[in-house]
Amino acid sequence: MKTKNTFNTVLLIVVAGLLLLNGSGSKPEVVAVGAADADAAGSVTVSGSSAIRVQPDRVVVVLGVETFARTPSASRDENARRSKAVFDAIRAQGIEDKDIATANITLQPRYEDYDWNVISGYGARNTIAVTLRSVEKLEPVLVATLEAGATSVDGVEFSVTNLRELRDRARDLAVKAALEKAAAMSESAGVRVGNVTGIQEDSWYSGYFGWWGSGRNQWTNVQNVVQELAAEGAITLEDGSISLGQIVVKAQVTLTAEIVPK
């Protein structure tokens, strides 16, 4: 009986303390957790893509200077002479040294009879990469270097200098496209879009489409957007012999959002 009275006394003291605390005005903050989840009727997952088309403003030209002689030294010396003439021709077009680079050098034997290892001579090759910051210089540089001694044009790659800015813009447009699609689908289903719960960038892509590129891609991760060739506003060089295509920068994202009743 004494124990029961003691327990009741303690309980009364605890209750009184709680009442005093409640009356003091210091109420604990109430935080609503998962309020959005409580209203959500499910989720919607959509993809969004975008494509930005711009004119190329930079060109990388890869040239080859190849020579052949009976001895390694003779082939090397002749290649060095021709390569110097090509470098001089590039500089004469106003190209700075920082935009001219030797990409590869080889000196290899040429065999007349592989079975008997009969060497007929030695081939030397100097691969030169030139960055043109004005696309109008493409043809003059090609003509000048070939006349100076270049034996091949191994590649012509068009690009843009502000690729990072274009990538960011394409991604923003892809997210907006995904949000618009989610809103349209939700409207058709009689609900509305709630909070976005996840965004994933699936891939991005940039490539040149035009006469020189012949559909060659500078980067991978191709999207499902087709770039038309020689679009309206394409650059045409002075004599009309080259009409440049365009650089297309694409992005695609996947977005998941809650759907809530209207």
Alpha-carbon separation of residue 94 from 133, 237, 248 (angstroms): 11, 18, 29
Assess whether pLDDT exceeds 80 at residue 169: yes
Q: How many residues does the chain have?
A: 262
Tell me the per-residue pLDDT of 12-37, one tens digit each, with 9 for 90 and over.
444 344 444 444 443 333 223 334 44
Q: Which residues contact 203 (CB under 8 A, 6 or more apart)?
A: 221, 223, 251, 252
Last residue within a domain, chosen from 112, 138, 159: 159
Helices 72-92, 138-148: inter-axial angle, 10-degree rounding: 150
Assess whether pLDDT exceeds 80 at residue 4: no
Assess whether pLDDT exceeds 90 at residue 174: yes
DSSP SS3 for 109: strand
Instruction: Extract the tokens encoding 259.
Output: 């759907």
Tell me the per-residue pLDDT of 178-226, one tens digit each, with 9 for 90 and over.
999 999 999 999 999 999 999 999 877 666 655 444 433 333 232 323 2
- Domain co-membership, 143 together with 190: no
Based on the structure, what is the number of domains in the chain? 2
Last residue within a domain, chosen from 134, 159, 184: 159
- Domain co-membership, 191 together with 255: yes
Q: Model-level pTM?
A: 0.62
Residue 32 belongs to some domain of the structure: no
- Domain co-membership, 167 together with 150: no
Tell me the per-residue pLDDT of 93-102, one tens digit each, with 9 for 90 and over.
999 999 999 9
- Domain co-membership, 148 together with 220: no
DSSP SS3 for 153: strand
Residue 9 belongs to some domain of the structure: no
Tell me the per-residue pLDDT of 118-146, one tens digit each, with 9 for 90 and over.
899 999 999 999 999 999 999 999 999 99
**In 3D, which of 133, 66, 139 has the Cα closest to residue 95?**
133
Residue 181 belongs to some domain of the structure: yes
The overall average pLDDT reported for the chain is: 78
Residue 34 belongs to some domain of the structure: no
- Domain co-membership, 214 together with 239: yes
CATH number at residue 116: 3.30.70.2970
Domain that holds residue 208: 41-56+162-261
